[in-house]
Structure 1
Amino acid sequence: MIHPTTRVLVADLREHIGQTVSISGWVNTLRLQRKMQFVLVRDHTGTAQVTHKRGGEGDELEEQLEHLTTESAVRIVGRVVDNDVVKLGGLEIIPELVEVLNRAETPLPIDEQTGLEQRLDWRFLDVRKRPTAQLLFAVQTTLEQGMREYAYGQGCTEMHTPKLMGTASESGAEVFKLGYFDRSAYLAQSPQFFKQMAIAAGIDRVFEIGPVFRAEPSFTSRHATEFTGVDAELAWISDVEDVMVFEEQMLAHAIAKVATVHGKAVQEHFGVEVVVPRTPFPRITMAETQDILRAKGWDPEGIKEDLDPEGERGIATHIKEETGHEFVFVTHYPTSIRPFYHMRPADRPDLTLSFDLLWRGLEVTTGAQREHRYDVLLKQAAEKGMSTEPMQDYLNAFRYGCPPHGGLGMGLGRVLMVLLGLESIREATFLFRGPNRLTP
């Protein structure tokens, strides 16, 4: 007998009833009874039941099925049969050939009860065994696709900026230093400077999705030392409002795409409804935010100008009660807690034309209008006590006609975390990197 070699996915088996097919996947469950052998085989599209009636001595299939182990990689050739009794789609496969492609060792290092940290140690198995984890990366793909669609539609050019820098970016804090031939280099904590150089290069709208590195010794559920950033920079803007409009429209477009493609599956696996946000998102200044929170009793020790996580959750709750909206732009952060390159209003030099976007109380984006005037940048850097010499390549971009511009940096993992109702960014990342985790 010539067996088929073209693989059929489990999700497509109903199209092959009565035919002999080849499926490939992992052994999900073994039920080896006295008269019957049932093997559930799982691929990335679903699980199929393989049913074999024991034939006694000399039954080669019986012997092969008997010695399978959970999570072994197998190829099964057999006839697809319609059987209403079978819970998995009312189909079963009567095997003709069993090929063990890679036998899994026993016992497995993780199971359904294993805690998150140990699951991260065996992340390839964790993702493979859980349809929920598989769905997360399908959602991530669709989310990114939606963001790119919107950005391309708005005339953005996708760029790939360097992740190695000769000088520490921005303040010089929270960067990873590494050897670079006969000198030192740093991992980029943001594509910020390079995005602005692209604007100065005449590329009107810049878009990038790429790795970002932060040497923060933070052990919270929302911090990582390496994460994927979604960045955009827009030239010839009128004010920072142009940047916020771009972002809210981009998110609404991308989330709508996720709702269309994965809404039902997300509800089933995560118990979360994908709600497409209406635009515009609410806006509130930092000063107004602090007034509202302090009136409600918020008074964190040592924090006078910024928001702590409790404050972010508090203002999000207030906005939700007032407007029904889960997103809010908090604007006009004080100069003291923003980078030197954020533009300041002419009449309020103590403030910046900046914003954070909060979604359900979690900061997912920081953005601003940038200062594009060379002399003002020098002045603002000096006010912060910064040496401009290491940044001269960056500053040169503003000496020869750089246009007004602004942009944003968004954490992809945080967006996924909120979208899917996850408790930790560790679960929204394939291979998490944190202060205590550099493997696998």
Structure 2
Amino acid sequence: MIHTTSRVLVSDLRQHLGRTVSISGWVNTLRLERKMQFVLVRDHTGTAQVTHKRDDSELENQLEHVTTESAVRISGRVVDNPIVKLGGLEIIPEAVEVLNWAETPLPIDEHTGMEQRLDWRFLDVRKRPTAQLLFVVQTTMEQGMREYAYGQGCTEMHTPKLMGTASESGAEVFKLGYFDRAAYLAQSPQFFKQMAIAAGIDRVFEIGPVFRAEPSFTSRHATEFTGIDIELAWIDGVEDVMAFEEQMLAHALGKVAEVHGEAIEETFGMMVRVPETPFPRITMAKAQEILRATGWDPEGVKEDLDPEGERGIAAYIKEQTGHEFVFITHYPTSIRPFYHMRPADRPDLTLSFDLLWKGLEITTGAQREHRHAKLLKQAADKDTNTEAMQEYLNSFRYGCPPHCGLGMGLGRVLMIMLGLESIREATFLFRGPHRLTP
């Protein structure tokens, strides 16, 4: 066993010029020439060149036979070499320890397609700095959202992901065995965060897994994803949660731009812009009117916006206002859940919204109907079976305050921010209708 100094990260090598250090990482590439051996070693902060002049030593033999992606620990002296592109530094090795040999050949390379890369996701992420940067950015994005939510007095909750009854209609839920009965994976923390409001927790915040049994194969759908959920009590109206979301996104994107803006532009070719607030708002009716004037939905039968419609209205708003975000408001009752509040003068509409970013929906939200009698009537209007929802409905029988909330998909936010083609790339281990492994 080699006894060396503490591990030094590749990004910190310049601080150790002229000293002997120990680096740990993976063999990125090998260039084995007649007189020299060049080994590039990569850790999560960068890549360093190890340069060894052949001398018939054991060290030469180790470098000669090490394989790409083997985990190694190398100790050696850090020296200046301006012709080395990797920071103008190289390491003259004194000892090499192979911690774990990588088999050859590797199952993926730079030409491998996405589906096969997903089969070997640990290697895919490890070999590609772009993938590693994504998860660093994700961490900062979540940190920014939490900072804003905490600053606004939110309590972070952890709601159950196992449910005794299928929420709402029961479509789109995964059923599983639970001892001697059936259980369901939560397709949303919706009912539970409303219960928290009824429990006197005025502002609820959660980041957690969400499950949707949708047989969708699009670039933006997953059967399991990370949701960001907000619920606010004692509100004056749905605008309260819309204002909360736009401020939270502006704060989080500002943090990402500050910490990773340069790296994102260099790696992904995307500029992280901090959006101005307030975001534009447009009613669903107005959005459809604008789109139909351009030939969208010529039969005039679509109640909701399809992906083409979302892209179209986002392009219109961008042209008119210069803004990448837009709230679509006042969705018809027919395409919204029974618990969305309806305006007293327009029972055919709901006080609800979707938030689009660059033409892709990232959020659905609404003011909730908090009055028990009205909630039961709206459920009956939509032929919703309420027998299995008694615990949820009980939350509204004893003074539940007015409240509103939203659910946002973290993967979609990352996908748009970094210009990725598919949510598969914005997820560590993707789950879809045909993918349950690795």
Q: TM-score, normalised by structure 2?
A: 0.99
Corresponding letter in the other structure for 1:156: C
Residue aligned with 2:273, SS? coil
Residue aligned with 1:406, SS? strand
Q: Where in structure 1 are there 5+ consecutive unaligned residues?
A: none
2:404 counterpart residue number? 406
**What CA distance in whole angstroms lies between the structure 2 residues aligned with 1:82 and 1:3?**
25
State yes or no: 1:9 paired with 2:9.
Answer: yes
Identical residues among aligned pairs (%): 86
Q: Where in structure 2 are there 5+ consecutive unaligned residues?
A: none
**What CA distance in whole angstroms lies between the structure 2 residues aligned with 1:38 and 1:162?**
53
- Are the equivalent residues in 2 in contact too, given 1:227–1:413 (CA < 8 A)? yes
1:291 counterpart residue number? 289
**What CA distance in whole angstroms lies between the structure 2 residues aligned with 1:407 and 1:46?**
42
Residue aligned with 2:282, SS? strand
- Are the equivalent residues in 1 in contact too, given 2:292–2:300 (CA < 8 A)? no
2:136 counterpart residue number? 138
1:97 counterpart residue number? 95
Q: Structure 1's 351 and 296: CA in aligned 2 closer, same or farther, altered over 3 A?
A: same
Q: 1:307 aligns with which of 280, 302, 305?
A: 305
2:354 counterpart residue number? 356
**What CA distance in whole angstroms lies between the structure 2 residues aligned with 1:319 and 1:18?**
57
Q: 1:169 aligns with which of 160, 167, 171?
A: 167
- Are the equivalent residues in 1 in contact too, given 2:292–2:298 (CA < 8 A)? no
Corresponding letter in the other structure for 2:8: V
Q: 2:390 aligns with which of 389, 392, 397?
A: 392
**What CA distance in whole angstroms lies between the structure 2 residues aligned with 1:289 and 1:260?**
34
Q: What pairs up with 1:31-430 in 2 under 5 angstroms?
A: 31-56=31-56, 59-299=57-297, 303-430=301-428
Residue aligned with 2:407, SS? strand
- Are the equivalent residues in 1 in contact too, given 2:169–2:385 (CA < 8 A)? no
Question: Per-residue deviation at 1:417?
Answer: 0.5
Question: Per-residue deviation at 1:360?
Answer: 0.3
Question: Per-residue deviation at 1:5?
Answer: 3.3
**What CA distance in whole angstroms lies between the structure 1 residues aligned with 2:148 and 2:157?**
15
Q: TM-score, normalised by structure 1?
A: 0.98
Question: Per-residue deviation at 1:424?
Answer: 0.3
Per-residue Cα deviation, 1:33-60 (whole angstroms, up to 9, x for no partner)? 000000000000000000000013xx11
Q: RMSD of the TM alignment (CA)? A: 1.1
Corresponding letter in the other structure for 1:36: M
**What CA distance in whole angstroms lies between the structure 2 residues aligned with 1:386 and 1:301?**
30
Structure 1 residue runs of 4 or more that deviate by more than 6 Å after TM superposition: none
Residue aligned with 2:21, SS? strand
- Are the equivalent residues in 1 in contact too, given 2:76–2:95 (CA < 8 A)? yes
- Are the equivalent residues in 2 in contact too, given 1:171–1:339 (CA < 8 A)? no
Mean alpha-carbon deviation: is it higher for 407-416 or for 297-306?
Answer: 297-306
What is the aligned residue count?
438
- Are the equivalent residues in 2 in contact too, given 1:370–1:405 (CA < 8 A)? yes
Q: Structure 1's 87 and 347: CA in aligned 2 closer, same or farther, altered over 3 A?
A: same
- Are the equivalent residues in 2 in contact too, given 1:4–1:20 (CA < 8 A)? no
Q: Structure 1's 303 and 136: CA in aligned 2 closer, same or farther, altered over 3 A?
A: farther
Corresponding letter in the other structure for 2:27: V
Corresponding letter in the other structure for 2:123: L
2:26 counterpart residue number? 26
Residue aligned with 2:131, SS? helix
